Amino acid sequence: MLNKLILRAFLSLSLALSFTSANAALITQDFISDATGNVIGSITINTFPAEVDEWGFGTIYTWEEFDFFGIDMLAPDVADGFQFLASFDTADYSLGLQDLYFDLEDVFGWYSWSGSASGAGDVAAYDLSVIPDPTLYVFVEYTLGEASVVPTPATLVLFLTAVAGLAARRKKANK
């Protein structure tokens, strides 16, 4: 009797927690060149820990993966919104990034990348080898592609716990 009660409590808790918007997710979007229609980069952000404003928009200052033309971006020393900022609607992650701002260097230190977007935007890369004034290397207008949302592993663990509880309950009922 006690086992059934505990099993039902875990099942209810895991199901309730696995479908709430409080769970973090990874949002991935491609950068698509307006001129060629080709994918020129991608970004993946983790929605946790985001600062959420009174309108339900989350702001994040770091990323999981971020590249242009196959070159990874270097994370800023201080995540404060001056080098990188991405915002998204916490009520619907599938809408993707609502705003994006970045002013970064790539991991090789070859170029300085700056750009912004609200659905569509532009990126400029400056050649850092030209001293003292870096020159414009490339300027590309882009559109953010469709968002791909993946729940974080914690959500998946909760959901799998619920499935395991259902399977255990069904197996016990068949005996």
Q: What is the DSSP string of the chain?
A: -HHHHHHHHHHHHHHHHHTSTTS-EEEEEEEEETTT--EEEEEEEE-TT-EE-TTSEEEES--SEEEETTEEBPPPSS-SSSSEEEEEETT-GGG-EEEEEEEEEBTTSSEEEEEEEESEEEEEEEETTSSSSPEEEEEEEEEE---EEEE-HHHHHHHHHHHHHHHHHHHHHH-
Model pTM greater than 0.85?
no
All structural domains of the chain with their residue ranges:
1-23+153-175, 24-151
- Give residue 80's pLDDT: 80
- Give residue 119's pLDDT: 82
What is the average per-residue pLDDT within 101-114? 94
- Give residue 129's pLDDT: 87
- Give residue 78's pLDDT: 81
The string of pLDDT tens digits covering residues 112-159 is 999 999 888 999 999 998 888 889 999 999 999 999 998 766 556 666
In this predicted structure, the answer to whether residue 5 has a pLDDT above a threshold of 60 is no
In this predicted structure, the answer to whether residue 48 has a pLDDT above a threshold of 50 is yes
* Least confident among 18-27, 36-45, 56-65, 87-96: 18-27
Handedness of CA 122, 68, 26, 150 (dihedral sign): positive
